[in-house]
Copies of this chain bind each other. A is one copy, B any other.
Amino acid sequence: MTLNDVAAASGVSRATVSFVLNDDPRQTISTATRERVLTAARTLGYVPHGIARALREGSSRIVVLDIGPGRTDGSFARSYVRGLDAELAAHDHLLLVRPATPRSDRQALDAIAPRAVLRLDEAAACGGDGDGDGSGDGSGVGESGCAAHADPVRTQLRHLADRGHRHIALALPAHDLPPAEARLRVAREAARQLGLAPLISFVVPRPRAAGTDAVRALRAGHPEVTAVAAFDDPVALRTLTAVHDLGLTAPADLAVIGYDDTGYGELVAPALTTVHLDAEPCGRRAARTALGLDAVGPATASGRVVVRESA
């Protein structure tokens, strides 16, 4: 089923079919012709050949999301992808995800000429405006430190504040990871706004014993701390396990709240209270930017607390 077939069936030229099907604003087609073409296309089940179109237009109607090494199972990534996908689909584009890979594949990606290449880690850091230059040359803007998470982080801390906690510690996955540093900045600011004591921060390493040591050290060094706000759910879960290993109970001895709900917090005891993020508007916005449309909607994620047991 090609344009040729539709043209033959409706008795016009290929060009005319193309004009009709693409609603070319520079042409004015008689209603009769238009109808004839549309009907023919429909009955023949014509679907434009994306490759041919891409060759002609210079880029294919696909947008690639490079997920890099980051986590992809949180509410942020899931909702972001959902928004991206939906908005792209609304504009007749297709979202395809490039899995995390050891090698580089700028070259391979160039070969399929995607309309744009977005990076999930940049989206998570900056609120979703990947490169929107439409050139497929995905060099991100990299305005690190912008505050896409300001609101949800405030929500996270406010939940603790509302429960009477004044001295809060921020649990981080590792020092001097850029996302951790950015989060610390945002959280400090939020704590200030909420009138809380200056935020303590500490790292919860992956090995279980080290995590336990970290929480023990926190309590020894800062006995006034009654609650922990975690960088993400895995860190929160490690904190919870440390609390357990110290013979303590959450939230009684130490409240723990996660971030970026993964769904796993629901499966444990005590169940993890966390912040569920909605980045679907960010995803939609990123899609529009990538397509060269005007960016509408928020560039920041919103969050709501999923109250379970740990805080």
Chain B min CB distance to A69 (Å): 12
Among A12-20, A30-38, A43-51, A298-306, the stretch in contact with B: A43-51
A237-B267, A269-B245 known; A94-B105 Cβ under 8 A: yes
Chain B min CB distance to A52 (Å): 6
- B50 near A267 with CB under 8 A, answer no
Kindly state whether residue A197 has any CB partner on chain B within 8 Å.
no
Closest to A58 in B: B51
A98-B96, A264-B237 known; A111-B48 Cβ under 8 A: yes
Complex alpha-carbon distance, A47 and B111, angstroms:
8
- Per-residue 0/1 for A217-236: is the Cβ within 8 Å of any B Cβ (1 yes, 0 no)? 00000000000000000100
Chain B min CB distance to A105 (Å): 7
Which of B51, B55, B267 touches A112 (beta carbons < 8 Å)?
A: B51
Complex alpha-carbon distance, A55 and B111, angstroms:
12
- A98 near B99 with CB under 8 A, answer no
Q: Which residues in window 33-86 of A have CB below 8 A to B?
A: 47-55, 60-62, 64, 72-73, 81, 85
Further 19 A-B residue pairs, CB within 8 A, beyond A85-B101, A240-B269, A262-B264: A47-B107, A49-B111, A49-B113, A50-B112, A51-B111, A51-B113, A55-B55, A60-B112, A64-B96, A73-B73, A89-B101, A89-B105, A94-B112, A208-B271, A237-B267, A237-B268, A241-B267, A245-B269, A268-B268
